[in-house]
Amino acid sequence: MISGKKEARQGTCNRIIKVNHAGEFGAINIYRAQIIAARLLMPGLRTQLEEFLSHERRHLATFADVLRARGIPRCRSFWLCGIGGFALGLVSSLFGRPGIMACTAAVETVVTEHLVEQLRFLESAGDWQAAQAVRSIVADEEDHKAVGVSQGQQSWVFKPLGAVVAMATSSVIWLGMML
Ligand SMILES: [Fe+2]
Ligand SMILES: [Fe+2]
């Protein structure tokens, strides 16, 4: 009975890593789409977005390493996150710089809140490897959020677009935890 409970907790720890791995692929594709749009319409934003993209690639590799070490496959939501992320990136780009920043702020607000919850769970379960992987991305995500908020919040589009993006992000995390 006790070992069954322990197994269930470990299953949740593994699922958290799978969902984060898929989520990072989603983030990569948001920035990929936004960089394509920025290249055409907002060249001044490109450097910033490429820097964010490089962080997301590193986050993906961090979670991929944990999955590989444990011999567990990626989440079934992986491609959904990628395609959904690309679509969010394109749609947000239609609103220019404020749209891109609203998207970043909304995604990262949901993500950073989620990371805190995940850390609490992983530490209580004693999964130090997974906790360390999560901890290693927190500062980057906080930073992305701060840039998004400071550069987007003055625009009318910030709240409505942010609400849609936040809902999409929460839904995909929820779905990933269910799959
Ligand atoms: Fe990330
Ligand atoms: Fe991020």
Cα 3 to ligand 2 centre (Å):
36
Is residue 71 left, alpha or beta, with left meaning phi > 0 and alpha meaning psi from -120 to 50? left
Q: HSE of 92 in the Cβ direction (CA atoms, 13 Å)?
A: 39
Cα 107 to ligand 2 centre (Å):
8
What is the mean pLDDT of the segment spanning 139-143? 97
Cα 154 to ligand 1 centre (Å):
25
Supply the mean pLDDT for the chain.
95
- 121: which residues sit within 8 A by CB, 6+ positions away? 12, 13, 16
Please give the Cα distance from 62 to 39 (Å, whole number): 28
Cα 52 to ligand 2 centre (Å):
7
pTM for this model (two decimals): 0.95
Q: HSE of 109 in the Cβ direction (CA atoms, 13 Å)?
A: 19
Ligand minimally distant from the alpha carbon of residue 109:
2
Q: Tens of pLDDT along 148-166?
A: 999 999 999 999 999 999 9
Q: How far is CA 84 from the centre of its chain?
A: 12
Residues within 5 Å of ion ligand 1, judged at the Cβ atom: 24, 27, 56, 59
pLDDT at 1 over 60: no
Cα 87 to ligand 1 centre (Å):
17
